Structure 1
Amino acid sequence: MLSVALRTLRARWATFTGSFVALCLGVALLTVTGLALASSATAPERAPERFAAARVVVKGQDTLRVPTPIGDRESRLAHPRPVPAATVAELRRLGPVVADRSFPVRAADAPADLVGHPWSTAAFAPYDLATGRAPRTAGEVAVTGDWTRPGRQLHTDRGPVRVVGTLTSRGFENAVFFTNARAAQLAPSVTQLAVEADAAAVREAVGDSAQVLTGNARRLADADPGRDGEALTAMNSLFGTAGGVTAFVSVFVVASTFAFAVAQRRREFALLRTAGATPGQIRRSVLTEALAVGALASATGCVLGSHAAPRLAAWVVDNGLAPAWFTIGDHTWPYHAAFWTGLIVALCGATTASWRAGRTGPTEALREASAESGTITRGRLLCGTALPLAAAVTLGLSLAGDPADLLHRKSYISRPMLLITAAALLCPLALRPLTRLLTWLPGACAMLVRENTAAGMRRTAALAAPVLVTVALAGSLLGATATLNRAKTTEASERTTAAFVVTPPAGTGFDDAALRRLRTVPGTEVSPTSSTAVHVLEDDVALIRSEARAVTPGPLAATTRLPLAAGEVSDLDDDSIIVNEEWQRHRVGDRVRVWLGDGTPRTLRIAAVMTTGTGDNGVYVTPRNAPGATVDRIDVALTDDADPNTVATALRKALGPGNGQVLTRDAWLRSTHPDTNRTTRLGLLLVLGIALLYTGISVANTMVMATSDRARDLAVLRLAGATRRQVLWLTAAEALTVVAAGALLGLLVSAVNLAGMASALALLSAPATIELPWQALGATTALCALLATTSALAPAALALRRRPAELAGVRE
């Protein structure tokens, strides 16, 4: 059987080229993603940046720790605690203490990420003066980098300042150094400080009131010390999804290729049976062919992946998806995983085909008719029926238990695979009536397309299946994000009743003076709110963090319509809280133990309960229960006799230049419209790109394999009087008809998948409107149509170069 299989591969190399390319590409992608995942499993600890030259850094507590029966649970505080004044006084007895303050700075014609510090902290990076001198007065600053020069006047959101010096950049920030006194005015709170003293003495003085950082731990005093871990987590999700889809789609391509190849070779197998070959020998022959193709393709894919992985690492770094230090490490397990996965995929794809080949009877060699029957096997029908039932059961359990889980990315990416697989398995049953419906018009061309697609149903299914998978993936994945974003937008629109929304510059808040000025604008009801967080311990073991807003009940009711399931907004006070139905305890009147944004424990009464919605219905508390929070949004309602234009002008005047912007309700809703984050968007585009690539491979392979079968049909048409152009038009029409059928089936699968998400939104009392990505679906279908027609016309045109009588096998 080995010699027969090898001779078959040599004689039918075109038949197996598509499988080889698909497997090789799949293994290469699996190798690349495996190497990327292995290299990003752990992030190397960064060296200290801002405090590299500091001896000891004392940082206020920024982590909440709650003891539970199974150990302490931790969560980041929304408002890190400042270092207590008593602790600072005790530290001053040990040695020099330098208070650190960091705050965003905005200036015209300057980097967007400017951050302010007191001058005394510049020595800890350390920064060196390149030009000019240090700031000495409140109106002077020194900046890092070469984007400006001494003597330039800057108009910042912190007031006008003059640059008196520049410092050599250290590469991790664009800093603006004020005098110590001016920095203390701009940022009164001290959350960390540098101490020139013995570390042991500092720890004894500090106790549990703050953190003492020495050595490499000083990096925790830098801005966003967890950014590397967050970037790697997002990248792992991106590559994990790409790897999963690669394996998922490659199984379809390989399985359909082997199934179609076996269908084409039924007479060949029948002759082997007539010559005495047993069914087992036929099956072993097919599996041996798959083993040879799979081993060679997998090995080639591993080599390609080893060369592509470093280029991928450079690409993700250049596009900001990974930290600058990210590179591909020296790992071996991704090669083993990719190689054996590719080989298993090849063997699994050929298994069903081998059983079909083994059932070929000797009398098949006597058949002259090429019409196909029984295009769907019993096993395929069973699997295709079981998968929708499994999808329905799992969907029902999720809707009954936790509908919110269906809105998570891992769910709306993985769940559609069940229905897509089922549709691909059962598509031969739907293709015959669907193609007849698409070719219902009278005429010879429509009749020929209808009969040809019906007679070659295996060829039709092999072409339609990858189109179905690609369109269904595009509709399900992009439609899920669009549907969820539409629901969030509608929620925000229904919740916001204010005429204007006043927002500060990014990363800042409003001070008391700005609030007083805005409150004096006539004809308005002003509702200032702050971002904060609340923690609750569920089941005595799970510490859950909920985003919250600090509000004043009266103004809130005038500017916001909360989606309440029970209770009243007016019942909110300093001893109560508004929660949503996602909380474990959410009955009005119950008291819940919570930890506020700065870690302060409180027991609050539930004043009202909101519906769960899309997850943006957070928690509401009063400003007294949000210590450390600054006002970052002001909603403004109008009285009945107020003129909107007059009020808008007065609000902008009261706000002052550079202190934020006054937006109408509609403008604010547009500016805060939820968009899919960049990493997720790139991940979905990568998934769809992989699917389209495999579609092209599958379609081209199917058309090339079918050329030998179609050659005689095309010759008969030529002998019947059809011109070469007419035959090519007919070939293109058949390809477009099959693509249209596959796209319609894919659209149907997308609609069913999105209906599940809409059901979850309805159960969560969120707007449930299905949003299909028509533009993406149209582009995907057009690309599939282009691939199909090109792959159909190219071999047909080559075949038509021969004389019709020669193609038909007629002697002249």
Structure 2
Amino acid sequence: MWSLAWQTTKTRLSGFVGAFIAILCGTALVAGCGILMESGLRAGVPTQRYAEAAVVVGGVQTTKPPGADFGESEQVTEQTTVPETLIKRIADVPGVRQAVPEQDFPANVVTSSGQVLTGPNGTQSRGHNWDAAVLAPFSLREGHAPEAANEVVFDAELAARSGVSVGSTVRISTRSTPMEFRVTGIATPKSGTGLTRQSALFFSAARAADLSGKPGQVHAVGVLAAPGVSTGELEDRISAAVSGEPVTVTTGMSRSTVEFLDVSQTRVLLFALAGSFGGFAILVAVFVVSSTLALVINQRRREFALLRAIAATPKQIRKLISAETMLVATLAGVLGAGLGVAVGYGLRNAFAGIGVIPPDFGLAVGPLPLVVAFLLGLGAARLAAWSAARRPASIRPIEALGEAAVERRELGRTRVLIGWLLVVLGFGGSTVPMYVTGDGALAASSMSALVVVIGLSVLGPKVVAFMTRIIAPVLSGVSRISGYLAAANNQANARRLASAVTPVMLAVSFAISMFYSQTSAAAAKQEQAVRSTTADHVLTSTTGALSPEVAAAARALPGVAAATSVIRTDVVTTVPEEKRLRVMKYPAQGLDGDQVRGVLDLGVVSGNLADLRGDTVAMSKGEADWYDKKIGDEVDFWFADGRPAKVKLVAVYTHNQAFGEYVLPAGLARAHTGDRMDNSVLVRQDPNADPAAMTAALRSLSARYPGLTVTPGSTVSAVESASGQQQFYLNLVAVGVILGYVVISVANTLVMTTAQRSREFALLRLIGTTRGQVVRMMRLEALTTAGVAALLGTVVAAIPLVLLNLALRDTPLPSGTPAVFGGIIAGAFLLSLVSLGLSTRVTLHAKPIDAIGLRE
């Protein structure tokens, strides 16, 4: 069988080009996702502040509620800490030369002109205790270490950028108004003049502990190993010593997850993103490869009919098709796995370009993702071959030659039933946003469109035949000869046309659904935020964080009716499901309960936001109903830093799209953030106050709090979880990559359907049809292909989008620029015209008398 498969494959190489490219691209995409997934497990960025430390003990990095299944956890989104009581325990571990605690807090230099200096290239500027300088290590280039409370040491890069030297007096902003310090030294790391990801300022140990605002806690403990002690051995000993404590013990590349919160989050994000993205890529690969193989096999109807007529069994036909596919898939899989390395780097660069992952986050390229991608590519090809081989293997020998003469028009009852069932299920799923809100509604809307597309692809010949009957008179009216021929071809070859329409429809529907569902969801959140915000002014900072003192300072100004801090954060909850406990993360925010009424309308339906103080919480109505919570009930969840919460429910509200599922008292939310800072302050002025004078008074606060900016209340933004802020851009990258794969497959399909018609073109030429008439015929067929695909793809995407927007925004029209829709439709037409046009011209190069004698 393998010998026969090799012979048939060699003689029909052009027919297998489409399948080869489809498997090649699918394997490369899966391999690239696998590399990202592996990188999420063992890659990162080199540590900077802990380069000399063999082991770093930091706060717990994940929230895993009791009873949660394996893999059910959420990454913390706030900087965690280590209890000071562990320092001595770690120092007493055999093999530890020194256990060095490190404090970490925001510290920005304020220039004489009031400018706030951040780190290099806009990165953070952080303050630390001088004792921790040995972990980098930093060494003094000049001057001496800080000893008094008003002394500071600069890294050399920051000193040069701020123009200070030893003996200079500088103003530094931490968590309050800027304070004056005297520069006592300039320090440099082991190489260079500063750190690339941050600027570093060093204070005395007592002053650093005071400025960090975390009594009894340190950011991390760096461990210097004694001579002759291996890192692995020391890690095991320290892990045993701190067993049961809420800390994580790291070595090697993992040390950067303690140093940089974004690295820790990136590793989890890459793992989850690559897993879901890769799974979706496999689904699309099976779908496209099946379509391509079905077209190849359909072109060989006479060949399989002859084999059946000379007593080939159905099993032998299936084995032949499987063997041919495996030969092609093996070569495509090997090349695709190698190409996956380039795809992995391309995806990494794309994600870094939109700010989802740090630009210096490295990749871990090992053999495992390439081998798995190769095997998955073979599996997808095998599944596609099984699906495509069912028809030629199942026909009876006596029907074989008749089956080959004319394209079979009717679909089997089982196929029709499955197709209509998928369509009904898909459109049924599009109603989910009418009953469910949040990310679940968005996911259901997007997935329903995909299910309908798959259903329509199963029903392809029937749907296309119906559409071509409607279009036929139009084509005949456009051109008496070419239009008539195009209409006749479309009606007589509905299966062939369906194989070309399906991937184009998939591309159109997928692109429209993914883009406009994201823009509509974002618009719904922002519209509700603006509609529900009664504040007149929003105070923010150029550094991204405001001092907690700003809200109180604003309330003290004449003419201010209300002012509340806004702290953006997340909460983690558990959702009991059948035989499992699911862990979910929701966006939340902290507000001053007694000030909310003047600045925000949360749509409160029960309780009172004025009671939002101490250990209390307000929940969205959907969340309260789900957990069956009433006013006064106790609510359990986990803060963004992984600490458990047990608070009392004091209010239930409905405007959860804009303001998240949970609202906490400002002080409680702030206590569980890494820097203990505010994100913004919302200010409502007295109705009798002069707006211009009020704006000027608020802007005058920038003298006390450098970097403060004042904008109108209409600029307020909806609350987003830390993991969801770049979701729109992530989806755009995903859409772009998968659409690129689909476009290649579409071009293959269109070229193959045209190439098989060389004898048809030759016959038309021999009976008097001119070359131009054939070209026009194919141009009209290309327009028909693109038109049917665009229409069906638009309808399939439009119904879920209309229902989604009615549920979220009370309007059927999706949000987002119409230019994207126009570009998608134009791309579908351009792709069809170019693919069919080029392949037609190449096919017409042969002389008709020569082409008519070519074998099929």
**Does the pair score TM above 0.5?**
yes
Partner Cα distance (1:132, 1:596) in 2: 46
Pick one of 238, 249, 269 that aligns with 1:234: 269
Task: Give the match for residue 385 of structure 2.
Answer: 347
Residues 615 and 224 from structure 1, CA distance in 2 versus in 1: closer, same or farther, beyond 3 angstroms?
A: farther
Go from structure 1 to structure 2 and tell me whether the alpha carbon gap of 1:147 and 1:803 turns closer, same or farther (over 3 Å shift).
Answer: farther
**Which AA in structure 2 matches 1:102?**
F
Structure 2 counterpart SS, 1:582: helix
CA shift for structure 1 position 161: 7.8
2:784 paired with 1:737:
yes
Most deviating of 791-800 and 60-69: 60-69
1:490 to 527, 537, 560: 527
| 1:129–1:463 CA distance, 2 compared to 1 (3 A) | same
Contact between 1:56 and 1:212, CA under 8 Å: does it hold in 2?
A: no
**In the alignment, does 2:188 pair up with 1:167?**
yes
Q: Taking structure 1 as reference, are residues 256 and 42 closer, same or farther at Cα in structure 2, changes over 3 Å only?
A: closer
Segment of structure 1 superposing worse, 45-54 or 345-354: 45-54
State the alpha-carbon separation in 1 of the partners of residues 404 and 133 from structure 2: 92
Match of 2:688 among 637, 641, 657: 641
Secondary structure of 2:214's counterpart equals: coil
Q: Which amino acid aligns with 2:827?
A: L
CA contact (8 A) 1:472 1:749 kept: yes
Q: Which residue of 2 aligns with 1:564?
A: 604
Task: Quote the Cα distance in structure 1 between the aligned partners of 2:252 and 2:633.
Answer: 39
Q: Is the 8 A contact 1:102 1:187 kept in 2?
A: yes
Report the CA distance between 1:426 and its aligned residue.
1.6
* Cα contact 1:574–1:621 (8 A) shared by 2: no
Q: Secondary structure at the match of 1:631?
A: coil
Contact 1:79/1:532, CA 8 A, preserved across alignment: no
What displacement does 1:124 show? 2.4
> Is 1:375–1:457's contact at 8 Å kept on the other side of the alignment?
no
Q: Give the drift of 1:501.
A: 0.9
The DSSP-based 3-state class of the residue aligned with 1:479 is helix
Match of 2:661 in 1: 618
Work out which of the residue numbers 179, 187, 196 in structure 1 matches 2:212: 187
- Correspondence for 1:14: 14
**What's the offset of the Cα at 1:484?**
1.8
1:287 counterpart residue number: 318
Asked whether 1:701 is paired with 2:752, we answer yes
Q: Contact 1:479–1:772 (CA<8 Å) still a contact in 2? A: yes
From 414, 419, 441, the counterpart of 1:407? 441
Q: Secondary structure at the match of 2:663?
A: strand
Task: Write the distance in 2 (CA, Å) between the matches of 1:222 and 1:121.
Answer: 21
Contact 2:615 2:648 in 1 (8 A): yes
Work out the CA distance in 2 between the residues paired with 1:195 and 1:249. 47
Q: 1:766 to 1:589 in 2, by over 3 A?
A: farther
Partners of 1:536 and 1:365 lie apart in 2 by: 59
The change in CA–CA distance for 1:312 and 1:546 in structure 2 (over 3 A counts) is closer
Are 1:112 and 2:145 counterparts? no
1:528-574 CA distance string (max 9 Å, x none)? 23345666677797777655433333421111010334334345454
Residue 423 (1) aligns with residue 480 (2): no
Flag structure 1 segments of 5+ consecutive residues without an equivalent: none
Deviations 1:499-523 (A, max 9, x none): 2111134453324267325631425
Counterpart of 2:456 in structure 1: which amino acid?
A
What is the identity, as a one-letter code, of the residue corresponding to 1:794?
Answer: L
2:658 is the alignment partner of 1:658: no
Distance 1:554 1:768 in 2: 38
Task: Determine whether 1:549 maps to 2:589.
Answer: yes
The whole-number CA distance in structure 2 between the counterparts of 1:366 and 1:317 is: 49
Q: Is the 8 A contact 2:589 2:659 kept in 1?
A: no
Distance 2:198 2:634 in 1: 44
Q: Cα distance 1:496–1:151, how it changes in 2: closer, same or farther (>3 A)? A: closer
Partner Cα distance (1:594, 1:494) in 2: 31
Q: 1:246 touches 1:690 (CA, 8 Å); kept in 2?
A: no
The farther-off stretch of 357-366 and 779-788 is: 357-366
Deviations 1:14-44 (A, max 9, x none): 333322332343344444544554x347327
Instruction: Write out per-residue CA displacement over residues 156-210 of structure 1, whole angstroms, 9 at most, x where no aligned residue.
Output: 756588976251357574232143276566434353176999999x99xx99998
Alignment of 1:298-309 (within 5 A): 298-309=329-340
Local SS of the residue matching 1:702: helix
User: 1:326 is aligned with what amino acid?
Assistant: L
CA distance in 2, matches of 1:600, 1:468: 48
More deviation, 23-32/724-733: 23-32
Check the 8 A contact 2:75/2:268 in 1, yes or no. no
Give identity over the alignment, percent.
Answer: 19
1:165 alignment partner AA: I
Alpha-carbon distance between aligned partners in 2 of 1:34 and 1:543, rounded to the nearest angstrom: 24
Post-superposition offset of 1:452: 2.9
Is the partner of 1:328 in helix, strand or coil? coil
Instruction: Supply the distance in 1 between the matched residues of 2:290 and 2:68 (Cα, whole angstroms).
Output: 51
Structure 1 position 635, deviation (Å): 0.7
Structure 1 Cα separation of the partners of residues 35 and 572 of structure 2: 38
Whether 1:378 and 2:403 are equivalent positions in the alignment is no
What are the superposed Cα offsets for residues 729-776 of structure 1, whole Å, 9 maximum, x if unpaired? 3321221121111111111111234356457x45xx998864477444
Question: 1:57 & 1:365 partners in 2: Cα distance?
Answer: 72
SS of the equivalent of 1:520 reads coil
Structure 1 residue 785 corresponds to structure 2 residue 788:
no
Structure 1 residues 149 and 753: CA distance shift in structure 2, 3 A: closer
Contact 1:700 1:788 (C-alpha < 8 Å) held by counterparts: no
Equivalence map 1:23-34=2 (5 Å): 23-34=23-34
Matched, 1:691 2:742: yes
| Secondary structure at 1:637 match in 2 | strand
**Alignment partner, residue 465 of structure 1:** 502
Which residue identity lines up with residue 705 of structure 1 in the other structure?
A: Q
Letter in 2 for 1:692: V
Name the residue aligned to 1:589: 631
Deviates more, 1:450-459 or 1:19-28: 19-28
Once the two structures are overlaid, the 10-residue window that deviates more, 674-683 or 418-427, is: 674-683
TM-score where L is the length of structure 1: 0.81
Q: Which amino acid aligns with 1:609?
A: V
Answering whether residue 103 of structure 2 is matched by residue 100 of structure 1, we say yes
How far apart in 1 are the matches of 2:64 and 2:281?
A: 41
Residues 108 and 156, structure 1, Cα contact 8 Å, conserved in 2:
no
Q: CA RMSD in A?
A: 4.9
Within 2, Cα distance between the matches of 1:70 and 1:349?
A: 36
Amino acid at match of 1:691: V
Whether 1:751 aligns to 2:822 is no
Give how far 1:311 is off. 3.0
User: How far did 1:525 drift?
Assistant: 2.8
Tell me the secondary structure at the aligned position of residue 347 of structure 1: helix
Distance apart, 1:670 and its partner CA: 9.5
Shift of 1:61: 8.4
1:55-204 to 2 correspondence within 5 Å? 76=76, 83=83, 100-105=103-108, 106-107=116-117, 110-118=120-128, 120-129=130-139, 131-134=141-144, 138=150, 141-143=153-155, 145=157, 148=160, 151-152=163-164, 159=178, 165-168=186-189, 169=192, 173-180=197-204, 183=208, 186-190=211-215, 191-192=217-218
- 1:600-615 → structure 2 map (5 Å cutoff): 604-611=647-654, 613-614=656-657
Deviation of 1:304 after TM superposition, in Å, equals: 1.0
**Residues 150 and 472 (structure 1), Cα distance of their counterparts in 2 relative to 1, 3 Å cut:** closer
2:131 and 2:89 map into 1 onto residues whose CA distance is 20
- What do residues 303-342 of structure 1 show as CA deviations (whole Å, max 9, x unaligned)? 2134223334444555545874432213375166235314
Return 735-744 or 516-525, whichever deviates more: 516-525
Partner AA of 1:737 in structure 2: T
1:422 deviation in Å? 0.4
Give the Å deviation of 1:268. 5.1
Residue in structure 1 matched with residue 49 of structure 2 by the alignment: 50
Change (3 A) 1:375 1:61: closer
